[in-house]
Amino acid sequence: MAELERLVRRDRNHPSIVLWSVFNEEPMQGTKQGSQMVRRMVAKVKSLDATRSVTAAMNDGLFTPVNVSQAVDVVGFNYQYQNYDTFHKAQPTLPITSSEDCSAFMTRGEYKTIKDKPIIAAYDDDAADWGTTQRVGWKAIAERPLSDLICYFLPAPMSRASSIA
């Protein structure tokens, strides 16, 4: 928790920070213990910077009865573009973001995949089992309503607490 506090205190005045992320693919994300842990982390972040929302990058556990998605402001989806609509239907008030979706392989400058050699065409055709190509991932995002985050984050009041380390 001390490391999280140092991070927020150090970076809270950076204009490029739009969300605080409290984890990436935490193994306990779909458990009660994970949810409790993240609630404490979110509370710590909010006590240091009440102007920004908190997210967590989830790759599992989104549909368990108690999970981390209920503890954050914005749910980060890692490699689960096919679950956007199902999750939104179950949790219509929770904003989601694509924290990681695409994991495509390619060899720069190659035009043809040769399977028996380590050569993969540079045309976004081959993806990892857990991910997808850029084209598929971007299409999944483009087909849904988007927000530019302005409605969530501006205007942000500048408090004395967020301006002083």
Please give the positions annotated as active site: 25
Direct distance between the N- and C-terminal alpha carbons of the chain, in angstroms, rounded to an integer: 17
Task: Take residue 104 and report the two structure tokens written for it.
Answer: 């495509």
- Rounded Cα distance between 84 and 1, Å, is 31
Nearest to 8 by CA among 39, 54, 40, 76: 54
Return phi, psi of residue 13, to 5°: -95, 5
Q: Is the dihedral of CA 125, 141, 25, 11 positive or negative?
A: positive
Beta strands 126-127 and 104-105: pairing type? antiparallel
